[in-house]
């Protein structure tokens, strides 16, 4: 998954928490649509 690698490579970013929150939201959406 390309998005996941992008998130992992942005660990030094200031807005890591925002990225993580968006990722968790996206993950829950994917889970509910499977």
For residue 34, the model assigns a pLDDT of 73
- 23 vs 2, higher pLDDT: 23
3-30 per-position pLDDT tens digit: 777 766 665 566 778 888 888 999 999 8
Number of domains in the chain: 1
Range of the domain at 9: 2-33
Residue 3 makes CB contacts below 8 A (sequence gap 6+) with 23, 26
Angle ∠(16,7,11) on CA atoms, nearest 5: 50
> pTM of the entire structure?
0.48
In percent, how much of the chain has pLDDT > 70?
Answer: 71
For residue 16, the model assigns a pLDDT of 74
**Helices (H), ranges, 1-34:** 2-9, 16-33
């Amino acid at each position: 998954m390309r998005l996941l690698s992008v998130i992992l490579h942005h660990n030094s970013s200031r807005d890591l928490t925002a990225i993580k929150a968006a990722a968790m939201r996206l993950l829950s959406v994917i889970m509910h649509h499977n």
